[in-house]
């Protein structure tokens, strides 16, 4: 379609009836109009829309000036209705808004001409009900084929074209939309600069170029009207950032480090004079973000590199899966956002989808509120924001082959948690506003952010520094989050609305988990809810345990055992008092074991080396310990279940992939523990029965002998004799064991071992 006639019509519309060129005033040409309209993306829709809007504004302005009730025999209310419809379309298209702004600002409006209008006295009711109408009804054209000479909006049902002989001039009244146009233009520019900052932080070159073109297009009017030879502020900001980017490359080449880098950046900013340039808030914010990015490019310190090196095993062990839903995010499973973003997480395996998701967050109107409230929105680049604690090392991404898997896993992991956190925060804000809650209240916002963080495994609060704990524990923030979730005081201190949402969320998720475990029990799996038992809350199928609790059950089990001072054997169901006899763990042992189970890979390696065995009690073997700390946890779990169940074990890959806990091990045989000469003698189950019978027989013989010797003694003396005989009988029985195991004891004492396996007399060691 040829738009030159339409552009020519708009030019005449602007320049008609003004002073002529002979009087020294320039009449605007189609070239002027085409430049003001700019590079519209859909001129076939936008140019006619602008034309119709201007004509409607002129018609209504004239009617208001003259007091006419009709314009060209069309009721003014009908004109107003049509113009309102047009204005809705105008305001829905930012490019049209911008183009109208250019037309109004860059053109000199002529005086209002005489517009033919019809002033008609009000009609009587009889005329309205039975008489002929005073004005002809508006009839939409019956064809969309535009013939030469016909109006530009021919066939459009959203506007009405005045007759061709009606002068086309703008009305000052049309400027009533300028405040809205200004606001829309500012919003467009703000979005474009924000997009440029996002592209810079993600180092997306294509996105940066697109954002720059958009910025230049939106600031073109300022460039046209700028003082010759003086760059406008927006151009100075871009030039400064371009120079700063080049400077960071030179600092890298010169080997500038850490504090010297930051000082150089400060000096560069002062010399540039950028602080003295008057800039809108959104441009200044973009400059600040660019400077933060430049400062983040400095090489890491020795301590930073050491910390990253310690985090490599954890990053590797946490990779090659999509574990965020079943681990950190499990308490959000009752929320729709949890299920909506499972696909988002899978898509984020690719870097493009990850960066798109991060850009969505930064461009969202609630983003700044979320950040200021303390919502934990993380990034895979630790220089630009906090990271998820499972992926604290970029060094892991440099490992051949495995490095790409680590990075993709981190992208998916981070995306899922960020999107769930943000959408739950944003949606809850809107639900609260609809319920009449003051959503600008600081406590409401901070408590909401804290609740969302906690329920997605990021506890400890906004200002908590856990850098030291990260080198010792595998997931310190997750552990803090689980502790907060189980603490009643945590809910008591919340904003009332947030407390209601928190309790509803955690109870719904708990009910869902209990129901799933219950269904598994009904289907034949072994299930127990006695939290003195290590298998409590888990679905046990043979030697395989499936844990749906996301680490929550471990804390409940520890607290239950400490409170009851009891433990239950998962195989026999036998209840034992903690610390009741030699060799049975006490409360301190339970706490110590729990903390050791939460250690980071490097810390647990040192612990196992010092005590000479791993968490399962197997002897320390260097090669096995190293391999277990550079193999993803999901692969370790799958290897164990495949060994135990064969090809059937592949069915367990699905829950394991999404972070559901999976453990496969055969329970150690029950052992009696016998103290001999300061060394614990662990009696295998096959021999413990023999030992028990020997002790029982010794006690029986001692009792018979003592009764015969204490007939004439007092009860107290007789009891003392009985104790003495029993002690002597048991000692004799143990001496037989010592003789049988003398070589093993001697070796244990010489090597400093704390335990030695015992066999019954007559057996073979």
Taking only the tens place, the pLDDT of each residue in 313-368 is 888 888 888 889 998 999 999 999 999 999 999 999 988 888 888 888 887 889 88
For residue range 97-120, list pLDDT tens digits in order. Answer: 778 877 766 655 444 434 444 444
What's the pLDDT at 456? 94
- What single-letter DSSP state applies at residue 320? S
- What single-letter DSSP state applies at residue 335? S
H helices present in 107-232, as ranges: 125-129, 178-202, 205-218, 220-225
Segment 472-490 mean pLDDT: 90
Query: For every residue of 152-163, which 3-state class applies, written as one string?
Result: CCCCCCCCCCCC
What would the two tokens of residue 723 be? 């104790």
**Separation CA 126–CA 184 (nearest Å):** 47
CA of residue 494 relative to chain centroid, distance: 22
For residue range 186-208, list pLDDT tens digits in order. Answer: 888 888 888 888 788 777 777 78
For residue range 393-403, list pLDDT tens digits in order. Answer: 777 887 887 88
For residue range 623-681, list pLDDT tens digits in order. Answer: 888 888 888 888 888 888 888 888 888 888 888 888 888 888 766 554 555 555 556 66
pLDDT band at 514 (very low <50, low <70, confident <90, very high): very high
For residue range 386-426, list pLDDT tens digits in order. Answer: 788 878 777 788 788 788 888 899 999 999 999 999 999 99
Q: Are 501 and 526 in contact (CB under 8 A)?
A: no
**Separation CA 390–CA 494 (nearest Å):** 28
**Separation CA 642–CA 277 (nearest Å):** 66
What's the pLDDT at 133? 36
Check residues 709 and 229 and name the one with the higher pLDDT: 709
Whether 25 shows a pLDDT value over 60: the answer reads no
DSSP 503-567: HHHHHHHHHHHHHHHHHHHHTT-B----TTSTTTT-EEETTEEEE-STTHHHHHHHHHHHHHTEE
What's the pLDDT at 399? 83
Segment 678-700 mean pLDDT: 72
Residue appearing with tokens 């301590």: 303
What's the pLDDT at 341? 94
- What single-letter DSSP state applies at residue 83? H
What's the pLDDT at 92? 78
What's the pLDDT at 260? 85
Name the CA radius of gyration of the chain, rounded: 40
What's the pLDDT at 394? 73
What's the pLDDT at 446? 94
Q: Are 156 and 48 in contact (CB under 8 A)?
A: yes
547 φ, ψ (degrees, to nearest 5): -110, 110
pTM over 0.75: no
Mean pLDDT computed over every residue of the chain: 78
């Amino acid at each position: 379609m040829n738009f030159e006639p339409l552009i020519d019509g708009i030019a005449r519309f602007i320049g008609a009836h003004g002073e002529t060129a002979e009087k020294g005033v320039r009449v605007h040409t189609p070239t002027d109009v085409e430049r003001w309209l700019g590079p519209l993306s859909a001129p076939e829709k936008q140019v006619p829309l602008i034309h119709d809007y201007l004509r409607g504004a002129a018609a209504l302005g004239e009617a208001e000036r003259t007091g006419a009730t009709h314009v060209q025999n069309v009721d003014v209310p009908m004109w107003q209705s049509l113009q309102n419809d047009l204005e809705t379309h105008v305001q829905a298209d930012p490019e049209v808004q911008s183009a109208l702004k250019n037309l109004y600002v860059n053109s000199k409006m002529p005086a209002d001409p005489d517009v033919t209008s019809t002033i008609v006295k009000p009609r009587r009711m009889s005329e309205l009900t039975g008489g002929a109408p005073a004005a002809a009804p508006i009839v939409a054209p019956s064809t969309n084929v535009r013939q030469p000479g016909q109006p530009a909006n021919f066939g459009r049902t959203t506007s009405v074209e005045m007759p061709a002989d009606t002068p086309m001039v703008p009305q000052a009244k049309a400027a009533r939309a300028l405040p809205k146009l200004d606001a829309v233009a500012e919003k467009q520019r703000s979005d474009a600069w924000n997009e440029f900052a996002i592209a810079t932080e993600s180092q997306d070159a294509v996105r940066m170029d697109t954002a720059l073109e958009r910025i230049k297009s939106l600031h073109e009017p300022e460039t046209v009207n700028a003082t010759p030879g003086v760059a406008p502020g927006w151009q100075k900001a871009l030039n400064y950032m371009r120079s700063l980017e080049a400077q960071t490359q030179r600092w890298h080449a010169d080997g500038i480090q850490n504090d010297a880098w930051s000082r150089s950046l400060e000096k560069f900013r002062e010399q540039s004079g950028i602080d003295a340039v008057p800039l809108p808030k959104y441009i200044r914010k973009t400059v600040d973000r660019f400077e933060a990015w430049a400062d983040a490019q400095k090489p890491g310190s020795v301590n930073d590199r050491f910390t990253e090196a310690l985090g490599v095993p954890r990053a590797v062990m946490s990779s090659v899966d999509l574990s965020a839903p079943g681990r950190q995010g499990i308490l959000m499973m009752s929320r729709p956002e949890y299920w909506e973003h499972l696909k988002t997480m899978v898509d984020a395996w690719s870097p493009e989808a990850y960066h798109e998701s991060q850009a969505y967050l930064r461009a969202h109107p609630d983003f700044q509120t979320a950040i200021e409230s303390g919502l934990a929105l993380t990034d895979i680049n630790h220089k630009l924001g906090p990271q998820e604690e499972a992926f604290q090392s970029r060094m892991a991404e440099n490992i051949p082959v495995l490095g790409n898997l680590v990075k993709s896993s981190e992208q998916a992991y981070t995306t899922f948690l960020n999107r769930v956190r943000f959408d739950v925060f944003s949606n809850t804000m809107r639900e609260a506003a609809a319920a009449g809650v003051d959503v600008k209240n600081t406590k409401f916002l901070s408590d909401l952010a804290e609740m969302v963080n906690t329920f997605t495994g990021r506890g400890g609060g906004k200002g908590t520094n856990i850098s030291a704990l990260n080198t010792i524990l595998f997931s310190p923030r997750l552990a803090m989050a689980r502790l907060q979730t189980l603490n009643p005081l945590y809910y008591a201190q919340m904003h009332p609305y947030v407390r209601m949402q928190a309790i509803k969320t955690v109870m719904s998720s708990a009910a869902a988990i209990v129901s799933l475990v219950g269904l598994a029990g009904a289907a034949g799996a072994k299930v127990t809810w006695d939290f003195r038992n290590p298998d409590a809350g888990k679905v046990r199928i043979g030697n395989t345990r499936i844990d749906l609790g996301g680490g929550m059950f471990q804390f409940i089990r520890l607290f239950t055992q400490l409170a009851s001072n009891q433990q239950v054997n998962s195989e026999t169901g036998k209840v034992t008092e903690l610390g009741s006899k030699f060799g049975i763990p006490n409360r301190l042992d339970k706490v110590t074991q729990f903390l050791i189970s939460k250690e980071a890979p490097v810390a647990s390696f040192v612990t196992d080396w010092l005590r000479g065995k791993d968490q399962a009690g197997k002897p320390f073997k260097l090669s096995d310990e190293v391999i277990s700390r550079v193999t993803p946890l999901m692969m370790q779990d799958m290897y164990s279940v495949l060994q135990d169940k064969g090809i059937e074990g592949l069915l367990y890959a699905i829950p394991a992939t999404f972070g559901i806990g999976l453990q496969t091990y055969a329970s150690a045989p029950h052992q009696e523990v016998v103290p001999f000469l300061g060394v614990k003698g662990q009696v295998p189950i096959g021999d413990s029965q023999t030992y028990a019978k020997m002790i029982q027989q010794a006690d029986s013989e001692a009792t018979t002998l003592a009764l015969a010797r204490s007939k004439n003694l007092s009860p107290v003396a007789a009891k003392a004799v009985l104790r003495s005989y029993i002690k002597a009988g048991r000692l004799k029985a143990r001496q037989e064991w010592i003789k049988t195991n003398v070589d093993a004891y001697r070796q244990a004492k010489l090597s400093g071992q704390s335990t030695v396996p015992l066999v019954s007399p007559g057996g073979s060691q």
